[in-house]
Amino acid sequence: MTIKLASEASFGSIARQFGKLDPLHAAKSYFGFPPGDAWTPNVNLYESEACYLVAVDLAGVEKSQIDVTVHGQRLKLTGTREVPTKEPSEPCSQRPRVHLMEIDHGPFSREVELPADVDHDRIAASFNNGLLWIELPKK
């Protein structure tokens, strides 16, 4: 798959909105816990002749914990990721102490303004191997 970076006005504003310039990512504490109530998942944005594609990194999130809504020209993703855990097994049968926690957990939210040429009636989403793919067909 050839990937082209969007620079056109219709998709460029979305790319800026998905930027990592928010204070949650800049102000993590000593143990890596974000100071706010929600974290923001990483996103890739793609465009073809026929549609826009949004890939959202939601590793460790259960499909049932993801909500995708469209209101007007806004796409909103919300949900929850539990704290990563592993069932104890030999030789690690005791509960571990946390030394570093960089994997965000708890509620998440991501919202963007959609380009004007998105066909809202044909938006589709699929979830596979921790990636949420949202297809936004063009009119």
Q: Which amino acid is at 87?
A: E
Query: Domain residue spans in the chain?
Result: 9-83+98-137
Predicted local distance difference test score (pLDDT) of residue 29: 43
CB 46 within 8 A of CB 3: yes
Per-residue pLDDT tens over the stretch 17-54: 544 444 444 444 444 454 456 899 999 999 999 999 99
Q: Which fold has domain 9-83+98-137?
A: Immunoglobulin-like (2.60.40)
